[in-house]
């Protein structure tokens, strides 16, 4: 896979504190043939001063636009990309050495459209965090992954590398979505292309700092519902009924777990919805029992 240009799309909004660390992690990659396309989505912090330090770096092209959201910023980077492969990196994350080189090898299979890796969690200061326990649906899968991916998004976004032609075929990120734009795109791509996985933490994923999108729980729920409903509408027959029922039960259980302490009535409603979708969902029974036993 030599002589293949990789376009690295870095998107930034008020992450000037982390931006140099992010860019340096790309510039330090062992694979030499890449370009960095930095899209600043209307930052109001000192990001411009950070970018100015890289003036004269031939592999970096920086652009600034009015704030339009993460999907618009990423699509702008895709349109400017010149490489055959596109890798994504959010400005608060960073790559581990050798990431590009290791992932490129998996694109030798022409049916592979996306290559991703495991992620290591880091805190706001960049220090490693203990690995978090995850459910079985977040176990990484490769090959034909649609049935697994519909249950949950196991692809760490900033670890993903995608064939440019795949993005052109499926139209990039949905700019009408506020959250879950990567899950939506992976689902669409998975209907036609295989995914490949590298079982190494090639990404440092930063958590627990102000402004992180994943904290906006209610918005995430509404976007998730929309993504799932639209996928089923646009791809009838792709998923077996058993997977759809399991996905609905799993989604409801997750929401029940989230509201169990703050709003037990709402939590019970979600657990009952889970059982209506999949009567053998043990997590729903466990959640209902915990609601009943909780102190009032």
- Same domain as 168, residue 256: no
pLDDT over 80 at 295, yes or no? no
Q: How confident is the model at residue 135 (pLDDT cuts 50, 70, 90)?
A: confident
Model pLDDT, residue 213? 52
pLDDT over 90 at 131, yes or no? no
Tell me the mean pLDDT in the region 226-230: 98
- Same domain as 158, residue 65: yes
**Strand pairing report for 161-163 and 85-90:** antiparallel
- Same domain as 253, residue 203: no
Model pLDDT, residue 215? 57
Model pLDDT, residue 216? 81
- Same domain as 119, residue 16: yes
Domain's final residue, options 164, 186, 217: 217
pLDDT over 90 at 166, yes or no? yes
Domain's final residue, options 217, 232, 262: 217
- φ/ψ bin of 98: left (φ > 0), alpha (ψ from -120 to 50), beta (otherwise): left
pLDDT over 80 at 268, yes or no? yes
pLDDT over 60 at 2, yes or no? no
pLDDT digits (tens, 9 = 90+) for 65-104: 999 999 999 999 999 999 999 999 999 999 999 999 999 9
Domain's final residue, options 217, 249, 281: 217
- Same domain as 73, residue 11: yes
Model pLDDT, residue 133? 78
pLDDT over 90 at 174, yes or no? yes
Q: How confident is the model at residue 1 (pLDDT cuts 50, 70, 90)?
A: low
Measured at the CA of 190, the angle between CA 173 and CA 277, to 5 degrees, comes to 95
Name which residue leads in pLDDT, 1 or 267. 267
- The boundaries of the domain holding residue 275 are 240-293
Task: Give SS3 for 143.
Answer: strand
pLDDT digits (tens, 9 = 90+) for 137-156: 999 999 999 999 999 999 99
49 in Cβ contact with 24 (< 8 Å) = no
Q: Name the strands in the sheet holding 94-95, side by side, starting at the edge strand that comes first in the sequence.
A: 60-64, 34-40, 6-12, 85-90, 161-163, 112-122, 194-206, 94-95
pLDDT over 60 at 288, yes or no? yes
- Within a domain: 235: no
Query: In sequence order, what are the residues at sequence separation of 6 or more whose Cβ sits closer than 8 angstroms to the Cβ of residue 136?
Result: none
Comparing CA positions, the residue from 137, 135, 133, 160 lying closest to residue 148 is 137
Name the average pLDDT for the chain.
95
Q: State how far the Cα of 51 lies from the Cα of 16, in Å rounded to an integer.
A: 9
- Within a domain: 178: yes
- Within a domain: 253: yes
Helix axes 181-190, 70-80, angle to 10 degrees: 50
Q: How far is CA 153 from CA 148, 168, 181, in A?
A: 9, 22, 11
User: What's the domain count of the chain?
Assistant: 2
Other Cβ atoms within 10 Å of 213 Cβ, number: 14
- Within a domain: 234: no
What residue ranges in the chain does DSSP mark as E strands? 6-12, 34-40, 60-64, 85-90, 94-95, 112-122, 161-163, 194-206
Q: State how far the Cα of 65 lies from the Cα of 39, in Å rounded to an integer.
A: 7
- Within a domain: 130: yes
147 in Cβ contact with 186 (< 8 Å) = no
- Same domain as 36, residue 165: yes
CATH number (domain holding residue 63): 3.90.550.10
Q: How confident is the model at residue 296 (pLDDT cuts 50, 70, 90)?
A: low
pLDDT over 80 at 48, yes or no? yes
Task: Give SS3 for 203.
Answer: strand
Share of the chain above pLDDT 70, in %: 97
- Same domain as 137, residue 250: no
Model pLDDT, residue 210? 67
- Same domain as 20, residue 76: yes
- Within a domain: 222: no
15 in Cβ contact with 96 (< 8 Å) = no
Task: Give SS3 for 145.
Answer: coil
- Same domain as 260, residue 203: no
Q: How confident is the model at residue 243 (pLDDT cuts 50, 70, 90)?
A: very high
HSE (CB half, 13 Å, CA atoms) of 185?
29
Rounded to 5 degrees, what are φ and ψ at 136?
A: -65, -25
- Same domain as 268, residue 207: no
- Within a domain: 231: no
- φ/ψ bin of 248: left (φ > 0), alpha (ψ from -120 to 50), beta (otherwise): alpha
- Same domain as 181, residue 103: yes
- Within a domain: 80: yes
pLDDT digits (tens, 9 = 90+) for 5-34: 999 999 999 999 999 999 999 999 999 999
Model pLDDT, residue 212? 55
- Same domain as 255, residue 133: no
Q: State how far the Cα of 152 lies from the Cα of 69, in Å rounded to an integer.
A: 23
């Amino acid at each position: 896979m030599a002589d293949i240009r990789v376009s690295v799309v870095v998107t930034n909004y008020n992450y000037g504190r982390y931006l140099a660390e992010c860019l340096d992690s790309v510039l330090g990659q062992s694979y030499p043939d890449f370009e960095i396309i930095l899209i600043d989505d209307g930052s109001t912090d000192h990001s411009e001063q950070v970018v100015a330090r890289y003036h004269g770096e031939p592999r970096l092209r920086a652009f600034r636009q009015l704030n339009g959201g993460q999907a618009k910023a990423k699509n702008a980077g895709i349109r400017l990309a010149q490489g055959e492969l596109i890798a994504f990196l959010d400005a608060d994350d960073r790559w581990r050495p050798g990431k590009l080189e290791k992932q490129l090898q998996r694109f030798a299979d022409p049916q592979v459209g996306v290559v991703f890796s495991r992620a290591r969690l880091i805190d706001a200061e960049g220090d490693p965090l203990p690995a978090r326990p995850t459910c079985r649906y977040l176990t990484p899968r490769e090959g034909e992954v649609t049935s697994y991916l519909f249950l949950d998004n196991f692809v760490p976004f900033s670890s993903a590398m995608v064939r440019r032609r795949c993005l052109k075929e499926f139209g990039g990120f949905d700019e009408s979505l506020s959250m879950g734009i990567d899950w939506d795109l992976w689902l669409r791509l998975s209907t036609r292309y295989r995914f490949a996985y590298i079982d190494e933490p090639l990404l440092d994923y930063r958590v627990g700092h102000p402004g992180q999108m994943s904290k906006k729980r209610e918005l995430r729920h509404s976007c998730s519902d929309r993504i799932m409903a639209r996928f089923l509408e646009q791809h009838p027959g792709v998923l077996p009924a058993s997977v759809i029922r399991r996905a609905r039960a799993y989604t409801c259980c997750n929401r029940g777990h989230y509201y169990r302490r703050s709003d037990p009535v709402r939590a019970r409603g979600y657990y009952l919805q889970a059982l209506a979708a999949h009567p053998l969902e043990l997590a729903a029974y466990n959640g209902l029992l915990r609601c009943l036993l909780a102190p009032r």
